[in-house]
Chains A and B, each alone.
Chain A
Amino acid sequence: MNRPILIGLAVLLSLIVIILPVAAIFTRAFAEGVSVWAQAVTEPETLAAIRLTILTALIVLPVNIVFGLCAAWAIARFRFPGRRALLVVIEIPFAISPIVAGLCFLLIYGAYGPVGSALQPYGIQLMFNLTGIVLVSLFVTCPFVVREVLPVLSVAGEDEERAALTLGANGWQIFRLVTFPNITWALVYGAILATARAIGEFGAVSVVSGAIRGQTMTLPLQIELLYNDYNTTGAFAAATVLALLALLTLVLRALISITHPATGAKP
Chain B
Amino acid sequence: MFRSFALAATVTVGSVAGAQAQDTEILNVSYDIARELYAEINPAFTSQWDGEGDLTINQSHAGSSKQARAILQGLQADLVTFNQVLDVEILADAGFVAEDWQDQFPNNASPYYSLPAFMVREGNPQNIDGWDDLVREDVSVIFPNPKTSGNARYTYLAAWAWAMDEFDGDEERVRQYMNALLDNVEVFDTGGRGATTTFVERGIGDVLVTFEAEALNISEQTEGYAAVVPDRSLLAEFPVAVVERVAESRGTQDVARDYLNFLYTTEGQEILVSFNNRVHDETVVEANVDRFPEVGLFTVEEQFGSWAEAQETHFGSGGTLDQLLRN
Q: Which chain B residues border A229 with CB–CB below 8 Å? A: 33, 35-36
Q: With an 8 A cutoff between CB atoms, is B58 at the interface?
A: yes
Q: Are B59 and A111 in contact (CB under 8 A)?
A: no
Q: Are A228 and B193 in contact (CB under 8 A)?
A: yes
Chain A CB count within 10 A is highest, among B32, B33, B36, B73, for: B73
B residues 154-178 near A (Cβ < 8 Å) are none
Q: Are A58 and B8 in contact (CB under 8 A)?
A: yes
Q: Are A59 and B58 in contact (CB under 8 A)?
A: no
Instruction: Please name the residue on chain B nearest to A112 by beta carbon.
Output: B73
Q: Are A111 and B73 in contact (CB under 8 A)?
A: yes
Q: With an 8 A cutoff between CB atoms, is B287 at the interface?
A: no
Interface class of chain B by DSSP: helix
Q: Are A127 and B74 in contact (CB under 8 A)?
A: yes
Residue interface bits A108-119, CB-to-B below 8 A is 1, else 0? 001110001000
User: How distant is B271 from chain A, measured CB to nearest CB, in Å?
Assistant: 18
Q: With an 8 A cutoff between CB atoms, is A211 at the interface?
A: yes
Q: Are B75 and A210 in contact (CB under 8 A)?
A: yes
Q: Which chain B residues border A111 with CB–CB below 8 Å? A: 72-74
Residue interface bits A199-210, CB-to-B below 8 A is 1, else 0? 000000000001
Q: Are A66 and B36 in contact (CB under 8 A)?
A: no
Partner of A128, one of B2, B8, B15, B75: B75
Chain A CB count within 10 A is highest, among B4, B60, B76, for: B60
Q: A110-B73, A125-B16, A128-B74 are in contact. Are A211 and B62 (CB under 8 A)?
A: yes
Q: Are B74 and A110 in contact (CB under 8 A)?
A: yes
Q: Which chain A residues border B35 with CB–CB below 8 Å? A: 213, 225, 229
Q: With an 8 A cutoff between CB atoms, is B265 at the interface?
A: no
Q: Are A129 and B32 in contact (CB under 8 A)?
A: no
Q: Are A127 and B27 in contact (CB under 8 A)?
A: no
Instruction: Please name the residue on chain B nearest to A63 by beta carbon.
Output: B5
Q: A131-B16, A210-B70, A213-B59 are in contact. Are A125 and B76 (CB under 8 A)?
A: yes
Residue interface bits B52-77, CB-to-A below 8 A is 1, else 0? 00000011111000000010111110
Instruction: Please name the residue on chain B nearest to A214 by beta carbon.
Output: B58
Partner of B19, one of A59, A112, A129, A228: A129
Q: With an 8 A cutoff between CB atoms, is B1 at the interface?
A: yes
Q: Are A128 and B70 in contact (CB under 8 A)?
A: yes
Instruction: Please name the residue on chain A nearest to B39 by beta carbon.
Output: A213
Q: With an 8 A cutoff between CB atoms, is A124 at the interface?
A: yes
User: How distant is A153 from chain B, measured CB to nearest CB, in Å?
Assistant: 18
Q: Which chain A residues border B308 with CB–CB below 8 Å? A: none
**Complex CA–CA separation, A123 to B5 (angstroms):** 24
Q: Are A213 and B15 in contact (CB under 8 A)?
A: no
Q: Are B59 and A59 in contact (CB under 8 A)?
A: no
Q: Are A212 and B72 in contact (CB under 8 A)?
A: no
**Complex CA–CA separation, A266 to B2 (angstroms):** 29
Residue interface bits B174-212, CB-to-A below 8 A is 1, else 0? 000000000000000000010000000000000000000
Chain A CB count within 10 A is highest, among B2, B4, B8, B58, for: B8
Q: Which chain A residues border B11 with CB–CB below 8 Å? A: 55, 59, 130
User: How distant is B213 from chain A, measured CB to nearest CB, in Å?
Assistant: 15
**Complex CA–CA separation, A245 to B20 (angstroms):** 33
Q: With an 8 A cutoff between CB atoms, is B306 at the interface?
A: no
Q: Are A66 and B16 in contact (CB under 8 A)?
A: no
Q: Are B61 and A66 in contact (CB under 8 A)?
A: no
Residue interface bits B310-327, CB-to-A below 8 A is 1, else 0? 000000000000000000
Q: With an 8 A cutoff between CB atoms, is A215 at the interface?
A: yes
**Complex CA–CA separation, A134 to B27 (angstroms):** 21
CB pairs A–B below 8 angstroms (26 shown): A58-B4, A59-B8, A59-B9, A62-B2, A62-B4, A62-B5, A65-B1, A106-B73, A110-B74, A112-B72, A123-B20, A127-B75, A128-B70, A128-B74, A130-B15, A131-B12, A131-B16, A134-B12, A210-B75, A211-B61, A212-B59, A213-B59, A213-B60, A225-B35, A228-B32, A229-B33
In the complex, besides A62-B5, A120-B74, 5 extra interface pairs with C-beta distance below 8 angstroms are: A59-B9, A111-B72, A112-B72, A125-B19, A213-B61
